[in-house]
Amino acid sequence: MRKSTDVPRDRRGLPAKRIAFLYSMLVGGCAHAGGVAPPEPVDVRDHAPAKVSVNDYLRAESFLGWNAAGLVDGMTLQGGQERVVQANWINPLGGTDDRFWYVVQRSGARRFVFVDPAADSSGPAFDHAAVAASMWRLTSSEPGAVRITADNLPINTFSYGRDTTDARLPDLSRIRFYDTTPDQTLWECKLKPVDCKTVFGSPPPPDRVPSPTRRDTAFVRDGNLFVTSQRDSVITADSTITVLPPATKNGKPDHGYGIVPQECCNAITRGWWEDGVRLPDNPPPPRPFLAWSPDGSSIVTHYYDESRVGKLHLVETAMPRPVLHSYAYALPGDRVLPTYELVVYHVEDDTLVTIAGGPMVDGFSGETFPVQWSPDSEHVFFTRHTPDYQTYELVRADALTGDTNVVVTETNQTFVSLNTLFPLLPANWRIIGGGREVIWYSERSGWGHLYRYDAETGDLLNPITGGEWPVLNVERVDDEWVYFTALGKEPSGDPYLAHLYRAPLSGDTSRIELLTPEGPDEDSANHAVQISPSGKFILDTYSRRDFPGRTVIRSGNDGTILMELEVMDISRLTDKGWRLPQHFTVKARDHVTDLHGFLHFPSNFDPSQEYPVIDFIYPGPQIGPILSRSFSVQPFGDPSALAELGFIVFAMDAMGTPQRSKAFDDADYEQLASYALEDHILALQQLDARIPQLDLDRVGIYGHSGGGAAAAAALLEHGDFFDVGVAGAGNHDNRSYFFAWGNKYEGGNYEDEWKRVAERKLQGRLLITYGTMDDNVHPNGSLLLINELIKHNQNFDVLVLPNRTHEYMQEPYAIRRGWDYFVTHLLGAEPPWDFEIQPPPGS
């Protein structure tokens, strides 16, 4: 460890704070910008040898997201994960009924709330105490039964009954739900008076896809499509279910219909479940890739071919012998790539139509199925792209003949995106006008905007939106308006705050209307919205990372607040010392562009002390480390918990991440191995000029996946700045990672990228971690780096997690070992021996 001196110096021997101050002046005197005000002059003492106790670890554990979320009222906690209030519309078959229910946490207990916006009313969805008492009467005699009360109802979701005279209508006098016990018992409760009973039934498998009419259900087995005819609207013991013969007969598991591709992130889910192998963190089988027509008469799916794609192999640790698993996974430079053709199956006729234009290169591994039906069920619209992602086409196909015409061709010299946060959001194109027109998303102007096209001729009818701000997501379209969220359109100074707008389809941009204004005494916030089935109401939770907000009902006409449903209350959390993060703005490597991020401080922050800084990094390019700006106590990386051990934790969306301009997103095209680390270093130097408590002589960095690769690169390429790194599941050599990633973002620039990393000398302390069953970033990526470090006689540390997939970042043991590494090598302290982080109940 470097020792602190009276004047902290950078790695070149110059005063670090002086350099940072001069840099801030050079780029425009931004020391007062961005939400972190320059503190009053303080007497910053040299840091003393740190002491970290069990109590410090216990306090940090209490701020882990799964614990902190339980102390926030006014938002939803589902499976240990925080959520904004989500509307469950009571008529799942559509229509214009705007009534809904939601679940929320109040005073530490979950409550189910029923809302009728048209009647301006809300209240309990049912009598919680009475339902609990009725359920307990039936379960109290079971061995090991846990008493059921209004505060611990074993219910995550429910549905109202169906009207006996019209199955399309809800019956609000009874509810049905599967409880949260391992057996997932099906219950039915009459509500007036309350009387609950168990009934026959088991949860439908997640890989079954019902038709819009609920009459038929589609699923896939061994690569073939099947349809189940379900004539009854409610599953009962005497339901008559007819399984039709296979809709297809030539499918195989690796060349079949509707199959979820194995490569990149789905091998365990898709392939090994069918082989009977299920690891502890394995999800259930996934929903197949198919889409029913609106009238329920047809299914569009793909005939997917990965039969000749090269294999990757993983070894499961087992007794008495390890088990080998192999799966298809195309790499950059492979000649054989996964391909697919689209087909339409007509249920009544039992006919299969192949859509012209295939086979096409796989473009939706890990994404949503890129297909939409026209409202009349006569046409299928889909996207296809070139292997380098520099050209996308929107294609319309006749569902009866398979004939196609190209509606839109979009090209770019780097890569084409169909949404500013794709694939976390669906592609931003919609079929409108009864199938005669489409809304198309394009960054051709340098910003993501919406355009209207004629679906038959392909003619551009008009732009719908425009300006130096991007559309985030299309939320709704009616005959006159498109409702969409956009980022940074309001003059708030933060380009990541989302608002809801509507724009006329005719393209008069002067008529774009803001539908989610804040109150006169409120600062701008981030708006997470849902629009009711009729379009008359907007459910809006507005908040900010540093502002717990509220949930309201607005008018769909002008955004006027009609009802207040919830106010976030974090007092139980702040009573424990938890601190809101501080937003900051700095200049990027071009000395012009503003970058935004957050600093997380420990609860016992002492302004007279200096603190080591830890950078939580995810370099993109498809997402950044912060994502939504809505209030969160479970942000990516759990920075608040780590800060409790005596650090200031830094997170920032650098250039090369989305949700800004196209140029901002393209900043690291063909040079991903830079990981925007120059932005991070310059940002920390600027902050150091404003905040003397930052100690840039002790800087750590950590990340997972792309963030793990960036953390390792920081120690290899910028070891004069970064001292300690924890690199989890990193794709350290993109030649060994999924072909689509490299094709889209690297442009084939793999060799130079690897040389930049492999030929550098490691400085500082580096911990490399990986899971042996990672089917996303294969362990080979970490082992390649380890081998290079050994070749160059480098010192480093490794943590191997047997049988873990890519998602081990939130495993308690992995979290604790990362904490220990920073405490030991950045603080110079001895961590508590064998401290055990307790996972959330039921995990």
Mean pLDDT (the chain, rounded):
88
The two counts, helices (H) then strands (E), for the chain are: 13, 46
**Residues 366 and 282: beta-carbon distance below 8 Å:** no
Retrieve residue 159's tokens.
């549905």
pLDDT band at 10 (very low <50, low <70, confident <90, very high): very low
Measure the CA–CA gap between 565 and 631, rounded to whole angstroms. 17
Measure the CA–CA gap between 381 and 391, rounded to whole angstroms. 17
* pLDDT tens digits along 23-70: 332 333 333 334 444 334 334 345 555 789 999 999 999 999 999 999
Of 161-170, 345-354, 703-712, 828-837, the one with minimum mean pLDDT is 161-170
Handedness of CA 604, 605, 608, 613 (dihedral sign): positive
pLDDT confidence of residue 41:
36
The mean pLDDT value for 192-201 works out to 93
Measure the CA–CA gap between 105 and 101, rounded to whole angstroms. 14
Among candidates 394, 291, 281, 384, which has minimal Cα distance to 339? 384
* pLDDT tens digits along 216-240: 999 999 899 999 886 433 444 444 5
Measure the CA–CA gap between 364 and 366, rounded to whole angstroms. 6
Q: How many CB atoms lie within 10 A of CB 646?
A: 23
- The domain spans of the chain are 16-35+52-67+572-827, 78-198, 212-416
Retrieve residue 319's tokens.
């007794």
Query: In this prediction, what percent of the chain has a pLDDT beyond 70?
Result: 86
Of 431-440, 657-666, 746-755, 757-766, the one with minimum mean pLDDT is 746-755
The mean pLDDT value for 355-366 works out to 78
Of 8-17, 679-688, 807-816, the one with minimum mean pLDDT is 8-17
Checking if the pLDDT of 537 tops 70, the result is yes
pLDDT confidence of residue 475:
97
Count of all residues that appear for the chain in the document? 843
DSSP string of 497-540, one letter each residue? -EEEEEEETT--GGG-EE--PPPTT----EEEEEE-TTSSEEEE
Query: In this prediction, what percent of the chain has a pLDDT beyond 90?
Result: 73
CATH architecture designation of domain 16-35+52-67+572-827: 3-Layer(aba) Sandwich (3.40)
Q: Which amino acid is at 492?
A: S
* pLDDT tens digits along 478-502: 999 999 999 999 988 899 999 999 9
* pLDDT tens digits along 409-420: 999 999 999 999
CATH architecture designation of domain 212-416: 8 Propeller (2.140)
- Specify the DSSP element, H or E, that contains 758: helix 751-758
Of 60-64, 374-378, 416-420, 473-477, the one with minimum mean pLDDT is 416-420
Tell me which residue has tokens 């009934």.
199
Checking if the pLDDT of 274 tops 50, the result is no
Measure the CA–CA gap between 445 and 348, rounded to whole angstroms. 46
* pLDDT tens digits along 572-619: 999 999 999 999 999 999 999 999 999 999 999 999 999 999 999 999
The edge-to-edge listing of strands for the beta sheet with 460-463 is: 430-432, 437-442, 449-454, 460-463
pTM above 0.85, yes or no: yes
pLDDT confidence of residue 715:
96
